[in-house]
Structure 1
Amino acid sequence: MRSAVVVADTGTPADVHGVPGAAGVTRSACLARRAGLAGAWEAVEWVRIPPGGVSGEHLHTRTREISVVLAGNGVVTLDGRPYAVGAGDAVLTAVGTRHCLRNLGAGALERLVIELPAELDGDALVGSTVIRDLRRTGPVDPSALLGGPLRLLQSARLASRERAGHTADGVEHTLFVTAGSGRAAAGDVRVPLRPGTALTLPLGSSADLAAGPDGLEYVHAELVAEGAAAADG
């Protein structure tokens, strides 16, 4: 297995001013992009919307979007239908959907956003939806709703000192730490884990996670890599 791993965090986000249709200064950090990955990722991003802020209404014409609310609460509108959302909720946005997000809370609304390339070809199986509290519902298969290669979305938790391994065998993984602490080992690479740290595992790599004394919580997404056969050959 390869020891490659993409490490990023939210420590130095960009301030985004004057986005059309948006209100307030949004902060964002790119955690991973398509470059260096075999799977059909567009981007993995962390986004922070200030109190009263808005992510302006727009039409998804070339991407599917899967987002998980990490903190705060607000209202997401999917094709004109409003849904209240809070920490732990996931929003699955199909290609062809028009949506916007308003922060209605007293604090910042933070979310993890995964975008995947798509075409307006009617391949979404069900369409856009809100999934309540991933921490309680358990693993979700976004492809069953949206089509596409993202086959797993979950909120994972390791108890104090517990360990878990992730192997990118035919798939690629992205993980975003939401609480607790720990360490990841990928070959000879050691990565301290804390809230705001993201790991993305390219095809053919692996990482072992070890939770700290306070446990470790993270959002985990798994994408089937179409380049798997070529890489194996």
Structure 2
Amino acid sequence: MAGYVGRIDAGEFLDAAPYFNGAWKSFERRTVGSVEALVLQGDNAEYSIFVLAGDGTYEVGDLRCPATPGTAITVGLGASVTITAGSSELDLFITTLSAS
């Protein structure tokens, strides 16, 4: 199995298939613009999202919490999350796993 050592800069996407034989699908750095929202739906994937920079909120069901640097959010199969940037952009690191 190959390994990977490198950078994933803002806006970049890394396909996990060359590095993992399991459920990992991808790694991504995504920027959510000021007062914009990102919705991740766990229909056939699960997600782990890490806030690297910026401020905003995230909503899972009826739960609404601040999204600040260091926040970790998980989205299991069948769940969804809405992440909304506040007055500044949100810089996110997103991992995606196959699920069924």
Q: Per the shorter chain, which TM-score range?
A: over 0.9
Relative to structure 1, is the Cα distance of residues 213 and 206 closer, same or farther in structure 2, using a 3 angstrom cutoff? same
1:23 corresponds in structure 2 to none
Gapped regions of structure 2 (runs ≥ 5): none
Shift of 1:151: 0.5
Instruction: Kindly name which structure, 1 or 2, has the bigger radius of gyration based on alpha carbons.
Output: 1
**For 1:115-134, what aligned pairs fall within 5 Å after superposition?**
124=1, 127-131=2-6, 133-134=7-8
Deviation at 1:130, TM superposition (A): 1.3
Corresponding residue number in structure 2 for 1:145: 19
Q: Structure 2 matches for 1:69-88, cutoff 5 A?
A: none
Counterpart amino acid of 1:186? Answer: V
- TM-score, structure 1 length as denominator? 0.41
Matches within 5 A, 1:1-233: 124=1, 127-131=2-6, 133-135=7-9, 138-225=12-99, 228=100
CA RMSD in angstroms, aligned pairs only:
1.4
Question: Whose relative contact order is higher, 1 or 2, with alpha carbons under 8 Å and at least 6 apart?
Answer: 2
What is the CA-CA distance between 1:137 and the residue it aligns to? 7.2
Identity of aligned residues (%): 29
Unaligned runs of at least 5 residues, structure 1: 1-123, 229-233
- Alignment partners' CA distance in 1, 2:11 and 2:73: 23
CA distance in 2, matches of 1:147, 1:137: 25
CA distance in 2, matches of 1:192, 1:166: 17
Letter in 1 for 2:36: E
Judging changes above 3 Å, is the alpha-carbon distance between structure 1 residues 173 and 205 closer, same or farther for their aligned structure 2 residues? same
Q: How far did 1:144 drift?
A: 2.2
Q: Which amino acid aligns with 1:195?
A: P
